[in-house]
Amino acid sequence: DELRRRGARFALDNFSMLQESLMLVHALRPAYIKLSPVYSRDLARNADCRFLVQSLVRVAQTLDIAVYAQAVEDPALVPELAKLGLSGYQGYAAARPAPLA
Q: What is the pTM of this model?
A: 0.88
Q: What is the CA radius of gyration of the chain?
A: 14
Report pLDDT for 85.
96
> What is the tens place of the pLDDT at every residue in 1-59?
788 889 888 899 999 988 788 888 888 899 999 999 999 999 989 999 999 999 999 99
pLDDT attached to residue 47: 95
Per-residue confidence (pLDDT) for residue 14, from 0 to 100 = 92
Name the amino acid, one letter, at 18: L
Query: Cα separation of 53 and 41, whole Å?
Result: 12
pLDDT digits (tens, 9 = 90+) for 25-37: 888 899 999 999 9
DSSP state of 14: E
pLDDT digits (tens, 9 = 90+) for 56-101: 999 999 999 999 999 999 999 999 999 999 999 999 998 888 888 7
In this predicted structure, what is the pLDDT of residue 67? 97
pLDDT of residue 15: 93
